[in-house]
Amino acid sequence: MLKRLIVLAALSIPTTMVAYQPLLFLSAHHASLQHAKFTLEHYRQEIEHHIDLSRRIIINTQSETKLCDQKNLWRLEYQSSIIRIFGYTDLNTKKICWSEGFVTKRQKQSITYLHQYSLSETESLSLVKIDNINALVFTKTISDQTWFTVFEPIDLIDNYCIHCYRVIWQTKETNLFNHHQHDLYRLNANLYNMRATFEFNLDSIQKRYYAYLKPFVIGALIGFNLLVLIGLIRQHFNSRKPECILKKAIQKKQIYPYYQPIIDTTTGQVTAVEVLARWDFNNYIVSPSEFIFIAESTGLIDPLLLSLFEQVEEQRQQYKDIFREIPFCFNVAPTQLERPQFVKELLQACRDIHSVHLPIAIEVTERQPFKDMDQAKQVLQMFTELDINIKLDDTGTGYGSFAYIQNLGLKTIKIDKMFIDTIATNDLKRTILDGIIEFGHTAQLHMVAEGVENEAQVEYLINHNITHHQGFYYSRPLTLDGLATYTDDLKKIESE
């Protein structure tokens, strides 16, 4: 099972990736449109920023410049990330002094002015073509010098994706670039009265975004699948816990009723039946001592008892004539009778059984105490009003037999097997057994001996006027079919 979960989680990663791929492309497309608008606005702000920066550099440099110092001008380029040429023209001598890097690398290249926009009386912004590359040139005239800065070429505005963005500057000639028209998104803009069309290749941008997002998405999917796998593994191991196995067994009715008869030795007939629970777990019969404690400690004892009620009612319908006068006894713990919801459901189950005229009884164990004796009395009264006999089970083993009998008005007690086992022995508990029997006769209680297993015990109990016995001496727990046969055989023996 665990291996299947791991294989399932591993296979789900590529499957999920395929399922989410269209969503990723849709997300990339949307992000591309948003990024295009952001890029245009960002480009405008960048131009304004670098014009302002160039203006301040020129003002600071002009006052200190007396002679043409190309190395110093070259160093000024590094004050901005997009300034590539820095220099000035002497208006008197018409000589040009510009940064050393440009003189060395570009002095043989021609510069063509395509468009010029006046920012003020002393400042202008021009579109030029240098070696077939478009660039913006900012000029500022101070005294007898006209200073200029040439910005980063602006036709390709993303150095990491040369096929993603292009700027087409409109001139008197024509478009400077004949870009392919497929899957383009165009934004027209005026930059200082210079018309430009920003073209965004959405297909390239989407692929770039997808390549960027893919590792994160795969990582997220792997993480998600790992969380699911961990959850499934935890669920798998939790399902192996005893309480989980027990809960499923109750739901599937794998815990079913067995029946042990109570015999009236004066007549040799079955006068009552105690309902016991048996669990068939993978063809192994689990003893009640192994699972009743788990049921009580986890709260599963309530649905277990209600399940037994339901099954007993269904089974007993087949033998109405045989068991019409024989009460079936169910064990109930005091803690259960202190839970209002369970009491409500148990009362309804008792009404359902009584509606078909099948008698039942409730055996309240003494091994657990009642926390509130007055409340316990009120709860038991609701059952006695339904003509349900209340018995005290495991008498002498727990908490306050005498107090229970006195305060709860119980008329029947069952003497625990622990005391019956002391018969014909020197066990000190033998005196407790004699005390219980004496008290029962004095209080005029109906007494049932549990766990009777041999002739000596039978003889001792009859001699002490305990005539109702239950135990292996008479019968082991039986299925209802076996109990019906056993009961019918006893009736035949009596009739003979």
289, 368: one domain? yes
Residue 199's pLDDT is what? 72
140, 199: one domain? yes
Token pair of 390 as six digits: 């209340």
Residue 317's CATH number: 3.20.20.450
The answer to whether residue 355 sits within a structural domain is yes
Residue 324's pLDDT is what? 83
183, 260: one domain? no
CA dist., res. 381 & res. 364, Å (int): 13
The answer to whether residue 44 sits within a structural domain is yes
Final residue of a structural domain among 188, 209, 230: 209
Final residue of a structural domain among 209, 233, 256: 209
CA dist., res. 355 & res. 375, Å (int): 27
Q: φ and ψ at 20, to 5 degrees? A: -90, -10
Token pair of 297 as six digits: 């400690």
Residue 311 has a CB neighbour count (10 Å cut-off) of: 17
Residue 60's pLDDT is what? 81
Rounded-to-10 torsion of CA 433, 438, 442, 447: 40
pLDDT digits (tens, 9 = 90+) for 177-206: 333 345 666 767 777 667 777 777 767 766
140, 278: one domain? no
Share of the chain above pLDDT 70, in %: 72
Residue 233 near residue 2 (C-beta atoms within 8 A): yes
408, 300: one domain? yes
CA dist., res. 270 & res. 490, Å (int): 8
199, 252: one domain? no
**Beta partners for residue 187, in sequence order:** 198
For 121, the 3-state DSSP assignment is coil
CA dist., res. 383 & res. 409, Å (int): 13
72, 202: one domain? yes
341, 440: one domain? yes
321, 187: one domain? no
Segments of the chain with pLDDT less than 50: 2, 5, 102-104, 107-108, 155-157, 159-160, 172-181
The answer to whether residue 304 sits within a structural domain is yes
For 94, the 3-state DSSP assignment is coil
16, 102: one domain? yes
The answer to whether residue 476 sits within a structural domain is yes
Global pTM reads 0.56
Close Cβ partners of 94 (under 8 Å, ≥ 6 residues apart): none
Domain count, the chain: 2
CA dist., res. 352 & res. 350, Å (int): 5
Q: Left if phi > 0, otherwise alpha if psi is -120 to 50, otherwise beta: which for 192?
A: left
Residue 340's pLDDT is what? 93
Angle at 318 between CA 260 and CA 492, to 5 degrees: 60
Residue 447 near residue 466 (C-beta atoms within 8 A): yes
CA dist., res. 309 & res. 352, Å (int): 10
CA dist., res. 253 & res. 305, Å (int): 11
List the domain range (segments joined by +) for residue 400. Answer: 242-495
CA dist., res. 399 & res. 409, Å (int): 16
The answer to whether residue 221 sits within a structural domain is no
pLDDT digits (tens, 9 = 90+) for 250-300: 999 999 999 999 999 999 999 999 999 999 877 788 878 888 888 888 889
Residue 328 near residue 275 (C-beta atoms within 8 A): yes
- Half-sphere CA count of 92, side-chain side, radius 13 A: 4
246, 180: one domain? no
The answer to whether residue 149 sits within a structural domain is yes
Residue 174's pLDDT is what? 35
The answer to whether residue 236 sits within a structural domain is no
47, 142: one domain? yes
**Smallest Cα–Cα separation from 199: which of 439, 401, 36?**
36
The answer to whether residue 94 sits within a structural domain is yes
**Smallest Cα–Cα separation from 210: which of 453, 19, 24?**
24
Final residue of a structural domain among 193, 209, 225: 209
